Amino acid sequence: MAKRIEASNVTAYYGGFKAIENINLTVEPKTVTALIGPSGCGKSTFLRSINRMHEVLPGARVEGSLTIDDQDIYDRDVDVTAVRRMIGMVFQRPNPFPTMSIYENAVAGLRLNGVRKKSILDEAAEKALRAANLWDEVKDRLGKPGAGLSGGQQQRLCIARTIAVEPQVVLMDEPCSALDPISTLAIEDLMFQLKDKFTIIIVTHNMQQAARVSDRTAFFSIEKTGDPGRLIEYDNTQKIFSNPTQKKTEDYITGRFG
Amino acid sequence: MGETPHRSADAGTGGTRVTESHEWPAGASARVAEAPVSTRTPGGTGLGGGGALPRARAFGAERAFRGLTLAAGTAVLVIIAAIAVFLVAKAVPALRADTANFWTYEGWSPNEAQPKFGIGTLAFGTVLSAALGLLIAVPVALGIALYLSHYAPRRVGTTLGFLIDLLAAVPSVVFGLWGREIFINPVRDFSVWLNKYFSWIPLFGGEGPFGKSILLGALVLAIMVLPIVTSLSREVFLQTPTANEEAALALGATRWEMIRTAVLPYGRPGIIAAVMLGLGRALGETIALAMTLGITFGISFNLIQNGGNTIAANIANAFGEANETGRGALIASGLVLFAITLIVNITARVIIYRRREFTESAA
């Protein structure tokens, strides 16, 4: 059920500001792809344009084409909510719905899709929470508020909420940047398991993390502040971190820049 | 890095100690030394202090301020107690003199030799008109608030929000005048129409005349509480964390589903508070209702026939010609109004408190 994503000449704007320019990149199904690069280079913008979350901000727009299994998600006739259901997203800061219990958070996506039957919801909640390695920690307090969990647990709850609707692709926008090392490790382990079912794209500032979890790595960069971000190099993770072809990539991963 | 320029900038804006105790490069210190140093005696011990520690001041600004705040806090309690004592002292003799049952008697003649007055009809009219007014106002207000916070383009939202706040600035006597002179006409026509087709519902029955009814009063009340409820709930909706809204959208929610999943639950305590404030205004509203209601004494759910009365409207209408007992009776009715408002507020608190676990972790 995981799908292949192809971006060609993707350019994204915030009002008059061009944030990324002409990104061309193909993501194979059931892989983990890491997007790395200095702050402001447009990795998050690119990530958010994959599930059309970029356009949520006022004045933001995307040009170029993005296809998922050859279907253009920016096609005029495509229902944007269907795109987002197919391409789930985990955010930088854990953001469980504060007024909902753990259980309600886990099934929030299903509820939105009109699933009402208790037995289906119960089953889906347990499945998603197990898949997110959270079930054992919360099974006795599913009725408690989701916001009462620790940061790492909240983030895993958000992952559970995302995968409960069984998307094809899971986007993660620096999912561990607000977490401690142990929680980070738990989420990285989780990514290895999720890769069997989903295509995962992760934005990270942590190069060790990119090296640990990803199969492919894309390095983004900007010339100077105010310039649009560009894709500098995209290759197997091993290649990027051992023998990059671009000088800029090498400078970045060796810490000489950014 | 760059410590020197940083500190000398500090000295320029704030204190004197740096320039006094250290030597700095000429360019930096020369400018700094001019103005601020003269405010303190040069050559003193400086803020860092050498020598013995100074004694704590017995009467400083700290203590004075503490005393002031304490006095302000106490004053509130004293005023409330004084009002309560006054009200009860005035009300009790009048209640003693009442020859009818204060709770159930349908009428208000406290100025007779045999005073007869009852609060039942007034309390009923107060609660009915306020409840009906809110029933009309709240859905509209929430709709406007959501439009302003989540649908309207920013500039439209700001302008419209300002206009609605302006509505709150209209004095209630103006609403009353407008209600009894102009708004009554469409309401009367509407009432006649309701009566023609829906008279089988007791709410819309009766023989007429129609117009100066609970319906008119409630509609005017609705317009009056609309701005409060709207602007408060708009503020609450705007405070919904973007992260939660995005989480809902990323799950494939439409805009309305996002509002239902993220905005409304988050804003719930705020909405309740807004409604309660609106209810407080509706319950206490005096002159607009005194001018738009039919002023009768009777308990009836009929909304469209001339009639209706409230505690506050009755006080406004009857105070002018009241004698000693009459005033006492009105004060007693004021106490009952106070009790009703109190109950409403406590109920609201309980509702908010019950969801505390969820709302607190949201903060």
Q: What is the pLDDT of residues A144-199, one digit of tens each?
A: 999 889 989 999 999 999 999 989 999 999 998 888 888 888 889 888 888 998 99
| N residues, chain B | 363
Provide Rg for chain A, Cα atoms: 18
Instruction: Please answer whether residues A183 and A151 qualify as being in contact, where contact means their C-beta atoms are separated by less than 8 angstroms.
Output: yes
Query: In sequence order, what are the beta bridge partners of A204?
Result: none
For A67, phi and psi rounded to 5 degrees?
-120, 150
Say what the pLDDT of residue A237 is: 94
Structure tokens at B238: 């705007």
Average pLDDT across chain A, whole number: 91
Kindly determine whether residue A100 and residue B252, on different chains, have CB atoms separated by under 8 Å: no
Q: Is B196 left (phi over 0), alpha (psi -120 to 50) or beta?
A: alpha
Is A186 part of a structural domain of the chain?
Answer: yes
Instruction: Please answer whether residues B228 and B278 qualify as being in contact, where contact means their C-beta atoms are separated by less than 8 angstroms.
Output: yes
Residue type, B184: I
Cα distance between residue A150 and residue A168, in whole Å: 28
Is A25 part of a structural domain of the chain?
Answer: yes
Residues of chain B with CATH 1.10.3720.10: 108-362
Which residue of A56, A144, A147 is in closest CB contact with B249? A56
Q: Sheet containing A17-27: give its strands across.
A: A17-27, A5-14, A60-68, A71-72
Instruction: Please answer whether residues A183 and A213 qualify as being in contact, where contact means their C-beta atoms are separated by less than 8 angstroms.
Output: no
Cα distance between residue B107 and residue B121, in whole Å: 8
Contacts of A83 in chain B (CB under 8 A): 252
B261/chain A closest Cα distance in angstroms: 8
Interface of B with A in 248-267 (CB under 8 A): 248-254, 257, 261-262, 265-266
What are the 10-residue block averages of pLDDT along chain B, 363 residues in total? 39 40 44 44 57 76 90 94 90 90 90 90 93 95 94 89 88 93 93 89 83 92 93 91 92 92 90 90 90 87 88 91 91 92 86 65 43
Cα distance between residue A111 and residue B257, in whole Å: 10
- Residue among B263, B358, B359 with most chain A CBs within 10 A, to mutate: B358
Indicate the SS3 state at residue B210: strand
Beta pairing, strands A5-14 & A60-68:
antiparallel
**Any A CB within 8 A of B169 CB:** no
Kindly determine whether residue A147 and residue B362, on different chains, have CB atoms separated by under 8 Å: yes
Is A12 part of a structural domain of the chain?
Answer: yes
Instruction: Please answer whether residues A46 and A219 qualify as being in contact, where contact means their C-beta atoms are separated by less than 8 angstroms.
Output: no
Say what the pLDDT of residue B38 is: 43
Contacts of B243 in chain A (CB under 8 A): 91, 93, 95
Nearest to A88, CA basis, from B261, B244, B250: B250
What is the SS3 string spanning chain A? CCCCEEEEEEEEEECCEEEEEEEEEEECCCCEEEEECCCCCCHHHHHHHHCCCHHHCCCEEEEEEEEECCEECCCCCCCHHHHHHHEEEECCCCCCCCCCEHHHHHCHHHHHCCCCCHHHHHHHHHHHHHHCCCHHHHCCCCCCEHHHCCHHHHHHHHHHHHHHCCCCEEEEECCCCCCCHHHHHHHHHHHHHHCCCCEEEEECCCHHHHHHHCCEEEEEECCCCCCCEEEEEEEEHHHHHHCCCCHHHHHHHCCCCC
pLDDT tens digit sequence for B8-39: 334 334 334 444 444 444 444 444 444 444 44
Cα distance between residue B270 and residue B229, in whole Å: 10
Q: Is B5 left (phi over 0), alpha (psi -120 to 50) or beta?
A: alpha
Contacts of B256 in chain A (CB under 8 A): none
Contacts of B265 in chain A (CB under 8 A): 97, 99-100
Say what the pLDDT of residue A91 is: 93
For B160, phi and psi rounded to 5 degrees?
-65, -40
DSSP label at residue B43? T
Cα distance between residue B78 and residue B89, in whole Å: 16
What is the SS3 string spanning B266-309? HHHHHHHHHHHHHHHHHHHCCHHHHHHCCCCCCCCCCCCECCCC
Which residue of B241, B244, B361 is in closest CB contact with A148? B361
Cα distance between residue B16 and residue A258, in whole Å: 40
* Mean pLDDT calculated for residue range A97-110: 93
Calculate the dihedral angle through the C-alpha atoms of A9, A10, A12, A18, rounding to the nearest 10 degrees.
-30
Residue type, B155: R
Nearest to A129, CA basis, from A80, A99, A98, A96: A96
Is A229 part of a structural domain of the chain?
Answer: yes
Query: In sequence order, what are the beta bridge partners of A234?
Result: A218
Asked if this assembly's ipTM is beyond 0.95, the reply is no
Nearest to B111, CA basis, from B356, B330, B301, B296: B330
Distance from chain centroid for Cα A135? 22
Size of interface A-B (CB pairs under 8 A): 84
For B304, phi and psi rounded to 5 degrees?
-110, -15
Half-sphere exposure of B66 (CA within 13 A, CB side): 6
Is A198 part of a structural domain of the chain?
Answer: yes
Kindly determine whether residue A108 and residue B248, on different chains, have CB atoms separated by under 8 Å: yes
Is A38 part of a structural domain of the chain?
Answer: yes
Say what the pLDDT of residue B351 is: 78
Structural domain span for residue A209: 5-97+170-253
Is A159 part of a structural domain of the chain?
Answer: no
Domains identified in chain A, total number: 1
The crossing angle, in degrees rounded to 10, of helices B214-238 and B184-198 is 110
Contacts of B248 in chain A (CB under 8 A): 97, 108, 112
CATH superfamily name and code, B108-362:
MetI-like (1.10.3720.10)
Instruction: Please answer whether residues A158 and A134 qualify as being in contact, where contact means their C-beta atoms are separated by less than 8 angstroms.
Output: no
A153/chain B closest Cα distance in angstroms: 15
Nearest to A28, CA basis, from A203, A240, A200, A219: A200
Kindly determine whether residue A112 and residue B154, on different chains, have CB atoms separated by under 8 Å: no
Kindly determine whether residue B252 and residue A165, on different chains, have CB atoms separated by under 8 Å: yes
Contacts of A111 in chain B (CB under 8 A): 261
Kindly determine whether residue A53 and residue B250, on different chains, have CB atoms separated by under 8 Å: yes
B160/chain A closest Cα distance in angstroms: 19
**Any A CB within 8 A of B268 CB:** yes
Express as a percent the part of chain A with pLDDT over 90.
66
List CB contacts of B85: < 8 A, sequence separation 6 or more: none
Indicate the SS3 state at residue B108: strand
Contacts of B352 in chain A (CB under 8 A): none
Residue type, A37: G
The residue whose two tokens read 């809110």 is B134
Nearest CA in chain A to B247: A95
Cα distance between residue A240 and residue A216, in whole Å: 8
**Any A CB within 8 A of B321 CB:** no
Kindly determine whether residue B243 and residue A91, on different chains, have CB atoms separated by under 8 Å: yes
Say what the pLDDT of residue B36 is: 46
Say what the pLDDT of residue B47 is: 65
Which residue of B247, B254, B268 is in closest CB contact with A99? B268
Cα distance between residue A141 and residue B82, in whole Å: 50
A81/chain B closest Cα distance in angstroms: 4
* Mean pLDDT calculated for residue range A12-41: 92
Which residue of B252, B257, B265 is in closest CB contact with A97? B265
